[in-house]
Amino acid sequence: MTRLSDQDRLAMMRQAGAAERRNSPRSIVVLAVLVLLAAGVYAGLGWMGRQGSLRSLRSAQLSQDRVQAQLDELRSLRSPEAAQGGVQVWDRLVSPVALLERAAQNAEFPDPNYDSERSESDSGESHRRIFRFKEIKGVSAVDVLRWASGVEQDVDGMRVYSMDFRAPSNKRGWDVTVQFSRLEKKQ
């Protein structure tokens, strides 16, 4: 058996190391680690985007719930009878204008200017009577609203049909036209 010199031994060790590196390549391991890191970053970005979308969805749902609650409140204010299970048709009033004027006196509202009454056919057995008070001049909006609230409280079934506020050009207060309506049975 021949004895190897130190240089030969060193050369064989270098060749063995090179062969070992060729048999277990690092590039595949490095590539796998890089792919794993990229997948982790992509998953993290996706998760953050999902969380942002969920926050937006919750915010939109809360907004929708608030809008729905306001819409329900508006519907109940426009038609309290509907909130109680349907539209109520009232018996015909004998002197509704006197009741409306009395409600104005109770609300300390200046003399309303009654203009006209008209009817709209609602269905076969009922019609909507509309009472118009036209061009009430120079009044406070608070007084008008207090009168309208008093009418709705004092006269069963009477509702505000419309209010038209106009600002006069040369004085304080409002020029107002108010219409009240009531659904009544035809006789």
| Helices and strands: H and E segment counts in the chain | 5, 4
Taking 80 as the threshold, does the pLDDT of residue 185 lie above it? yes
The predicted model gives 164-180 an average pLDDT of: 88
What is the model's pLDDT at position 2? Answer: 73
Q: Is the dihedral of CA 40, 41, 47, 50 positive or negative?
A: negative
Is the Cβ–Cβ distance between 181 and 158 less than 8 Å?
Answer: yes
Q: In total, how many domains does the chain have? A: 2
In whole angstroms, what is the distance from residue 107 CA to residue 98 CA? 14
- 88 falls within a domain: no
Q: Of 114, 123, 73, 72, which Cα lies nearest the Cα of 95? A: 114
58 and 123 within one domain = no
Length of the chain: 187
- 164 falls within a domain: yes
- 157 falls within a domain: yes
Taking 90 as the threshold, does the pLDDT of residue 56 lie above it? yes
Whole-prediction pTM: 0.52
**Which of 18-27, 33-42, 115-124 ranks highest by mean pLDDT?**
33-42
Taking 80 as the threshold, does the pLDDT of residue 187 lie above it? no
What is the model's pLDDT at position 86? Answer: 59
In whole angstroms, what is the distance from residue 103 CA to residue 112 CA? 10
- 70 falls within a domain: no
The predicted model gives 146-173 an average pLDDT of: 89
Alpha-carbon distances of 74 from 69, 88, 105, 136, 157, rounded to whole Å = 9, 18, 28, 27, 18
96 versus 125: the higher-pLDDT residue is 96
Domain that holds residue 117: 96-185
- 104 falls within a domain: yes
20 residue type, one letter: E
Taking 70 as the threshold, does the pLDDT of residue 85 lie above it? no
- 83 falls within a domain: no
Q: Of 94, 97, 99, which Cα lies nearest the Cα of 150? A: 99
The DSSP bridge partners found for residue 133 are: 114, 178
The predicted model gives 107-112 an average pLDDT of: 83
What is the model's pLDDT at position 184? Answer: 86
12 versus 187: the higher-pLDDT residue is 12
Q: What is the CATH number of the domain that holds 155?
A: 3.30.70.60
Taking 70 as the threshold, does the pLDDT of residue 83 lie above it? no
Q: What is the mean pLDDT of the chain?
A: 86
The predicted model gives 126-152 an average pLDDT of: 89
- 5 falls within a domain: no
Taking 60 as the threshold, does the pLDDT of residue 169 lie above it? yes
55 and 105 within one domain = no
